[in-house]
Amino acid sequence: VLAGDDDYRTALVGNPNREYLWLLSRTPQVSQQTRERLLEEARSRGYAVDELIWRVPDGQLKRSQ
């Protein structure tokens, strides 16, 4: 765990070789301010945040008909 909120709503988790990084949230949406703060923390630790893949929360997926 690289960073987290005092109330445990979000956390930044990565591995030591900097290959993997996760921004975890208890809610489907993360505020822009929180997202930028966590990304800056990741950048400062040497993670390539420009290569992150952002996924859509499961409840927001649209099914094809």
- For residues 9 and 25, the answer to whether their CB atoms sit within 8 Å is yes
Q: pLDDT band for position 57 (50/70/90)? A: confident
pLDDT at 59: 67
8-32, pLDDT tens digit by residue?
999 999 999 999 999 999 998 899 9
Q: What's the pLDDT score for residue 36?
A: 96
Q: Does residue 55 register a pLDDT over 70?
A: yes
Count Cβ atoms within 10 A of the Cβ of residue 41 and give its class: 0-12 exposed, 13-18 middle, 19 or more buried: middle
Threshold 0.85, pTM exceeds: no
